[in-house]
């Protein structure tokens, strides 16, 4: 609030601009009106204005897409087989013996010995 870190019990006024960090996204909310009594969550958007930058929503969208890539919602925890398949897919082939790079560097070493 006003560039200051405040507690959640801090009173807000009409026109205050709040910067809220949630899930590594910076939301900016402007207070338009303060209701006279408590209201439901569905009515809150009538009293605030969202001023969050579009880039922040793009970051959120990309993060959700990257999470969905690995596992679709509702599949639960990965099984041991899933983990092993992922390890096989992402494993570094250099630890499994000779690779094309080993042959490339051995050719260079042979030419340097001459």
The order of strands in the sheet holding 48-50 is 17-22, 25-31, 48-50
The total domain count for the chain is: 1
Q: Determine, yes or no, domain membership for 7.
A: yes
- Give the tokens for residue 85: 């398949």
**Residue 39 falls inside a structural domain:** yes
Q: Is residue 32 part of a domain?
A: yes
Classify 67 as helix, strand or coil. Answer: helix
Does residue 29 lie in a domain region? yes
How much is the pLDDT for 95? 54
Per-residue model confidence (pLDDT) at position 4: 73
- DSSP conformation class of 36: S
**CA dist., res. 7 & res. 42, Å (int):** 24
Kindly report, residue by residue over 70-85, the tens digit of the pLDDT.
666 667 787 888 888 8
pLDDT digits (tens, 9 = 90+) for 29-49: 999 999 999 999 999 999 999
In a domain, 80, yes or no: no
Q: Which domain holds residue 40?
A: 1-72
Q: What pLDDT is stored for residue 38 in this prediction? A: 92
**pLDDT confidence of residue 100:** 61
Residue 106 placed within a domain: no
In-domain check, residue 31: yes
pTM: 0.52
Say if 60 falls within a structural domain: yes
């Amino acid at each position: 609030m006003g560039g200051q870190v405040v507690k959640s019990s801090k009173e807000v006024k009409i026109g205050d601009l709040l910067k809220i960090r949630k899930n590594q996204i910076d939301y900016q909310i402007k207070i338009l009106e303060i209701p006279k009594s408590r209201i439901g969550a569905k009515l809150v958007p009538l009293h605030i204005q969202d001023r969050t930058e579009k880039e922040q929503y793009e970051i959120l969208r990309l993060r959700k897409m990257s999470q969905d890539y690995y596992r679709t919602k509702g599949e639960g925890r990965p099984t041991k087989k899933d983990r092993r398949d992922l390890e096989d897919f992402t494993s570094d082939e250099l630890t499994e013996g000779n690779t094309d790079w080993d042959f490339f560097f051995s050719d260079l070493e042979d030419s340097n010995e001459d």
